[in-house]
Structure 1
Amino acid sequence: MFLRHRQHLRSSLPQTAYYSDRLPFDEKKVVVSGGIIAQFMEGQLATLFTGVVVVFLIAVLLLIILYRVRIPSVVAFLIAGFLAGPSGLGLITNEESISFFAELGVIFLLFTIGLEFSVSRIIKSRRYVLVGGLVQVVSTIIVWTALMHITGMDFLHAFFWGMLISLSSTAIVMKVLADRMEVDSPHGRATLGILIFQDLIVIPMVMITPVLAGTTDTDISLAKLLIGSFVIIAVVYIASKYVVPALLLHAARLKNREMFLFIVIGTCLIVAYITSEFGLSMALGAFLAGIIISESEYSTHAMSSILPFRDLFTSFFFISIGMIFNFQFFMQNPLVIAELVLLVVGVKYATGTLASLLAGLPPRACVMTGISLAQVGEFSFVLATTGASLGFLAQDSFQLFLDVSIVTMGIAPLLMGLSGKIAVPLSTPLHRIVPDRNHAQETIEPGSEDHIIIVGYGLNGRNVARSADIAGVPYRIIEMNPDTVRDEKAKGKPIMFGDAAQGEVLKKAGIAKARVLVIVVNDPFGTQQIVQTARMLNPAIHIIVRTRYMGEVSTLMELGADEVIPEEFETAVEIFTRILYTYLIPTSEIEHLVSEIRAGGYQMLRSVNTPSYSFDNLRVLVPDVEIRTIRINDDSPYAGKLLKDTMIRSEYQVSIVAIRRDQQMIISPGGEEQLISGDLVMVLGSPDNIISAFSF
């Protein structure tokens, strides 16, 4: 049908605006030098401000509406851009200014991704970056090239389309994963590794496009590719090792926040400019700049400084994408666009699933990775713009690509939201094809009863295992990261590779004889599946689940969990416990209160009308009383004296309630106790009296 519609597309396009001149990634439209000054000189600042206000009002309204139905904010921004743009209500007819902010949004987004993923972390994720990324990109290009060639498209154009479709949206996928707290989940790590490879492969893709178009000499283009790659690698290495750390150290010593911020942003923009001079994307340069700073000890502070800019400008990116959606073209060609959207989603789901499977993930995580990658990315717009500017991508193909891409980006958050629910049925065929990869590769013979099964070997899982070692309690670990399994297996840990949501994996870990199941994974839907499966296999097992948010507690309890520990409330409980200790609340009463909070499912913290609680609070009853610790030094007048001879109690109304001497604690010392230099004494009294008693 795509072939039948090609002639219709050409006949319909003269009635439709050509949108390549409004594409937010046309770097000719976003050159910083002179752009803003020209707007001032032409009196367009008011128009720019009005447009921004209109877009923000529409976006805020949509965010409020869509939040109530749990639709991701990315969709709200896309719709806001469409409504405000030329194809919508026509409130903004010149969106070049917003396109400038959109380009900044992509730059800052990729910059923060680079900050989070240093070279060492990329090397650690090399299985996903190299194996997963290479398989996903190559397989997508091969499949799409074959499909387009079958429809009658010549090989070079079909190959170029394959490159366009092979890239996914880092901006959308990372935002959805971050919002759902799934960045550190198995499918989140695999998805991000593949996206990093895609972002890097854009370099050769952009450089070979003129070769495909026949507008440049092949030898010259390859030479430019090699020279450009060498220069960029050299800049990244020198800057990360010598230049940027020295500048950031200087700013940190001066404690100048403005200087630090400008160095961070300057590094981002300078490296982006260097890459653009070699004909590459500025966003790719920003990603490399983030890697440069990530190698220093200031990456965390840099991230906190740049975060507000990223969130603001990233919203402009999504809005500008909505603006270039040509609704008239869409209505004239709905069938061919719908066909291509389904084809893009299907092909990219299949290649993403295959790539993550070969990278070592279990089937369910592979399915979720494939769904996460099933859209066209923002770097594809960069590549498409390059092809259009060279005349290699025809006008009808360019507009068709834009509409198909934007639709796939719009439905991506919705598909990712459903991925957890549909991953289990979709992964069932994969379990039949690759059963050994899922649960038979690393089999553990339980060998004992009443053991603990720990699902997830991150920080919490390691702490549980360490505590079990100390207590002498046997345990088994189930982990989905093959590298972790290999490393810990070499250390002698009882660990196996597999997806605990599958019953066979739990059986291999001895679920029938286990006493406790501890689930500490960053996968909300996977956690629910594990609880449900474990309860079916062993109705008597005690299931403890760590979750991120309070909203997940009731669902997990209904599925069969015995205890659900939400991180956000447990953190609050621990902080408040420390606060109560500083107010000298008796330990027994603090423990009683904490028990009541947990026993009531944290309802005491969630309720608006929280009942009051009475303490025997020493500071409330006697507000001027404090307990302090004082060191007895050699020059202290009390050193060498008996307590009864110091006259501290009679003269200053200060009592010494305990003395710590070496490793010994003397509680309620008598008058015959001698104070020795080096003693640490705990005194009780008013702050003023304590100061008077020990000021000499």
Structure 2
Amino acid sequence: MVHFIETLALLSCAVVVVWLFRKLNLPAILAYLIAGIIVGEHGFSWVTENVNYEHFAELGIVFLLFTLGLEFSFTRLKAMRHLVFAVGGLQVLVSILAFTLVSLLFDLSFGASFTVAAVLALSSTAIVIRQLSETGAMKRKSGQISVAVLLFQDIAVVPLLIIIPMLATGGEGSMLLALLFALVKGVFVVALLFFIGKKLLPPLFDLVAQVRTDELFVLTTLLVTLFAAALTQWFGLSMALGAFLAGMMLGESEYKHQLEADIRPYRDILLGLFFMTIGMKLDPAILVSAPLQTLALIVSFMMIKIVVIRQLAIRAGESAKDGWASGIMLAQMGEFGFVLIALANQNDILPQNVASMLLVAGILSMAITPYMVNNARKWALTLSNTKQIDTSEFEQLPTQRKLKDHVIICGFGRVGQTVSRFLKQEHIDFVAIDIDPLRTSKARQAGENVLFGSSRKAELLNAAQIDTARLVVIAFGEDKQSSEVIQKVRAMAPEVPILVRTKNDDQLDMLQQAGANEVVPESLEGSLMLVSQVLSLSGVPFSRIVRRVQKERKNHYNHLHGFFQGEQTDMSVDSPRKIEFAHAIVLTKDAFAIGKTVGELGLAERRVALLSIKRGEQEIEDLPNDFVLMEQDMVIVRGRPRRVERFEGYINQGET
């Protein structure tokens, strides 16, 4: 019963704090840390036996590394080996050396100094990789450098776990043998996982996929992840390393995206629990008793790590901008540092006051990491004196000529390139803007008019000569970014027509209110194209098909917005607020609406739309306001779920 109450308190606090932080647009990771402080022994002591939770919390890192492994392949990892060893390996060695020397100056023993150095040299895999994934920075060079360093740090944890207990006994010979034995075990288990991943996992998932049972697929994914983690742990290696290798083996399979979707809910919940267990360790009393010392420790070790990583990245041939950005992202202390602190305390290597100070400094450095990761690129550009658009060869058009009545295409992916191909066939000039440097480079080499950068920036729109454009096409399909581009275009060229591509009709009204002249939802256009083919093959005259399709477009897809939801419909937190569903209501004998006209239903004020009424075998559309409702009429309406629910109550019982 006690454990149940503790779990209830843990979840309740997490829900409230995460909701509040999301409302304030603050990172969820920081919310989990604060929630951990509240429920922990230094807060309200609602949860005291957090050791039990830590075992589950570690699985969050395991699942995180599994999803990271899905993004990598062996060939990609092999291509990154110079970053893993030249930057990651040297970062660990140089940082440990520097922090050890500094710690010795404060009269700590060699064992304590080495432990402090090892703790500070590591960075947070969980926070950094999660933030890189959320911000989309994983594919940038700075993100790749950060991942390479984190991979080596996870590997380096193994020898550190061997060395630190031996510092208490001073056995150098046994330490060397233990490290050599660990290396042999590491090579063996990695080779074993590669064999299993290549030979056994693909046919296993083929068999599971043939059963077509989602539960079995999820269970198999969890089993494979935990088996790989347990195997590496059994051989004395990091559980996270085994999960990463398992993910990397499956990253080349056709089930990659399904695996990631299946594991994500477990990963996010357990990662949240992990960050809460970290927050439970924070003793706010230290902040009150020694605030300046704590601040000095945080600033000093973070600055040293930033400079070390920046220098090593430049030495490895990377740009100063990417070096600064990677250093800023990896400046914090890592979750494995807490494991090393606990190990040192068990062996009486680290003084208690030093251990407490490290815990507080580590947690605070982790708390500010989301903010640092989000701003790393901007700060790196400033520190390296690099312009925001640092690919100078993309700043001018290849044609170097004045354009007029041309089309500007924002986003040069598959849709943007298809649009450009048809424009060229009609001899209409165009300028495309795209944020992907590789795509931009290849397109320019082929002679296309493509600018590198963000369509939301005035400089790029001016370079695309928006003042003389006849049309702006926003083709990348991200509604929030599209809205920002629309507002920027409207501010610079109020009269130019704007055509926006969107994936569905969730944000159609928002985009039109932002200033878009036409919004083309892919799902609805796809439906119209399918319908036209169905009608054509069913013998309907082509002229009638064209009229029907044009009518739907003229009415802004009015009859296509609502649909009947099913088991696979996205019903996440935000979806019911923006998706409109179709719903059928049968008027029974005592229904309030019987005998009333359509005009008396107050559809507009209740913000629902009447699609049609079925009366017997007849379905009636485009109903006039004086149409009278009868018993057993089936009223089909469209609207957001809560509005439809209230409307159903109104026409049945007369509720307002």
Could you tell me the TM-score, scaled by structure 2's length?
0.68
**Residues 262 and 597 from structure 1, CA distance in 2 versus in 1: closer, same or farther, beyond 3 angstroms?**
closer
Q: RMSD across aligned C-alpha pairs, in angstroms?
A: 5.1
Give the number of aligned pairs. Answer: 561
- Contact 1:480 / 1:498 at 8 angstroms: preserved in 2? yes
Displacement after TM superposition at 1:377 (Å): 2.8
Question: Is 1:610 aligned with 2:610?
Answer: no
Q: For 1:280-329, what per-residue CA distance to the aligned partner results, in whole angstroms no more than 9, with x for missing partners?
A: 22122122222223333333333343333323322221221111222333
- Contact 1:362 / 1:498 at 8 angstroms: preserved in 2? no
Which residue of structure 1 aligns with residue 399 of structure 2? 446
Which residue of structure 2 aligns with residue 35 of structure 1? none
Alpha-carbon separation, structure 1, partners of 2:484 and 2:309: 23
Alpha-carbon separation, structure 2, partners of 1:526 and 1:148: 47
Alpha-carbon separation, structure 1, partners of 2:222 and 2:318: 37
**Residues 622 and 276 from structure 1, CA distance in 2 versus in 1: closer, same or farther, beyond 3 angstroms?**
closer
- Contact 2:612 / 2:619 at 8 angstroms: preserved in 1? no
- Contact 2:613 / 2:619 at 8 angstroms: preserved in 1? no
> 1:11-410 maps to which residues of 2 (within 5 A)?
46-119=1-74, 131=83, 135=87, 138=90, 142=94, 146=98, 149-150=101-102, 152=105, 161=116, 163-176=118-131, 182-183=135-136, 190-191=142-143, 194-195=146-147, 197-207=149-159, 210-211=162-163, 213=167, 215-217=171-173, 219-255=176-212, 259-344=216-301, 346=303, 372-385=329-342, 393-410=350-367
Alpha-carbon separation, structure 2, partners of 1:337 and 1:408: 11
**Residues 595 and 305 from structure 1, CA distance in 2 versus in 1: closer, same or farther, beyond 3 angstroms?**
closer
> 1:547-566 maps to which residues of 2 (within 5 A)?
none
Alpha-carbon separation, structure 2, partners of 1:138 and 1:65: 41
Displacement after TM superposition at 1:96 (Å): 1.5
Alpha-carbon separation, structure 2, partners of 1:162 and 1:527: 47
Q: Which amino acid aligns with 2:70?
A: L
What's the secondary structure of 1:297's corresponding residue? coil
Alpha-carbon separation, structure 2, partners of 1:353 and 1:619: 75
Larger CA deviation: 295-304 vs 485-494: 485-494
Q: For 1:398-417, what per-residue CA distance to the aligned partner results, in whole angstroms no more than 9, with x for missing partners?
A: 32222112112223335556
Alpha-carbon separation, structure 1, partners of 2:137 and 2:521: 20
Alpha-carbon separation, structure 2, partners of 1:488 and 1:462: 10
Q: Which amino acid aligns with 2:20?
A: I
Q: For 1:182-239, what per-residue CA distance to the aligned partner results, in whole angstroms no more than 9, with x for missing partners?
A: 336765x743662354134321343156457464446435533542342233123211
**Residues 561 and 591 from structure 1, CA distance in 2 versus in 1: closer, same or farther, beyond 3 angstroms?**
closer
Q: For 1:33-71, what per-residue CA distance to the aligned partner results, in whole angstroms no more than 9, with x for missing partners?
A: xxxxxxxxxxxxx33323212211222222333333233
- Contact 1:519 / 1:527 at 8 angstroms: preserved in 2? yes
Q: For 1:477-528, what per-residue CA distance to the aligned partner results, in whole angstroms no more than 9, with x for missing partners?
A: 5555554455555555555655667776666666676665656679999989
Displacement after TM superposition at 1:390 (Å): 5.8
- Contact 1:361 / 1:480 at 8 angstroms: preserved in 2? no
- Contact 2:157 / 2:336 at 8 angstroms: preserved in 1? no
Displacement after TM superposition at 1:73 (Å): 2.9
Which runs of 5 or more residues in structure 2 are unaligned?
A: 536-544, 561-576, 582-603, 621-656
Alpha-carbon separation, structure 2, partners of 1:132 and 1:457: 33
Alpha-carbon separation, structure 1, partners of 2:117 and 2:12: 38
Q: Give the counterpart of 2:521 among 570, 577, 583.
A: 570
What's the secondary structure of 1:403's corresponding residue? helix
Could you tell me the TM-score, scaled by structure 1's length?
0.64
Alpha-carbon separation, structure 2, partners of 1:527 and 1:241: 42
- Contact 2:395 / 2:452 at 8 angstroms: preserved in 1? yes
**Residues 171 and 209 from structure 1, CA distance in 2 versus in 1: closer, same or farther, beyond 3 angstroms?**
closer
- Contact 1:137 / 1:166 at 8 angstroms: preserved in 2? no
Alpha-carbon separation, structure 1, partners of 2:240 and 2:221: 15
Q: For 1:366-388, what per-residue CA distance to the aligned partner results, in whole angstroms no more than 9, with x for missing partners?
A: 88766554533323334545555
Which residue of structure 1 aligns with residue 553 of structure 2? 591
Displacement after TM superposition at 1:148 (Å): 6.7
Alpha-carbon separation, structure 2, partners of 1:198 and 1:608: 56
Alpha-carbon separation, structure 2, partners of 1:354 and 1:523: 37
Displacement after TM superposition at 1:590 (Å): 1.0
Displacement after TM superposition at 1:591 (Å): 0.8
**Residues 268 and 436 from structure 1, CA distance in 2 versus in 1: closer, same or farther, beyond 3 angstroms?**
closer
Alpha-carbon separation, structure 2, partners of 1:484 and 1:309: 35
Alpha-carbon separation, structure 2, partners of 1:524 and 1:158: 52
Q: Which amino acid aligns with 2:45?
A: G
- Contact 2:99 / 2:116 at 8 angstroms: preserved in 1? no
Displacement after TM superposition at 1:456 (Å): 4.9
Displacement after TM superposition at 1:340 (Å): 2.7
Q: For 1:551-596, what per-residue CA distance to the aligned partner results, in whole angstroms no more than 9, with x for missing partners?
A: 99999999x975696xxx9356457757987899922321112278
Displacement after TM superposition at 1:530 (Å): 7.4
Q: Which amino acid aligns with 2:66?
A: F
Identity of aligned residues (%): 24
Alpha-carbon separation, structure 2, partners of 1:439 and 1:519: 24
**Residues 618 and 556 from structure 1, CA distance in 2 versus in 1: closer, same or farther, beyond 3 angstroms?**
closer
**Residues 231 and 139 from structure 1, CA distance in 2 versus in 1: closer, same or farther, beyond 3 angstroms?**
closer
Larger CA deviation: 147-156 vs 105-114: 147-156
- Contact 1:186 / 1:361 at 8 angstroms: preserved in 2? no
Q: Which amino acid aligns with 1:149?
A: L
Displacement after TM superposition at 1:440 (Å): 4.0
**Residues 319 and 209 from structure 1, CA distance in 2 versus in 1: closer, same or farther, beyond 3 angstroms?**
closer
Which residue of structure 1 aligns with residue 570 of structure 2? none
What's the secondary structure of 2:399's corresponding residue? coil
Alpha-carbon separation, structure 1, partners of 2:579 and 2:237: 56
Q: Which amino acid aligns with 1:410?
A: A
Q: Which amino acid aligns with 2:233?
A: S
Q: Which amino acid aligns with 1:194?
A: S
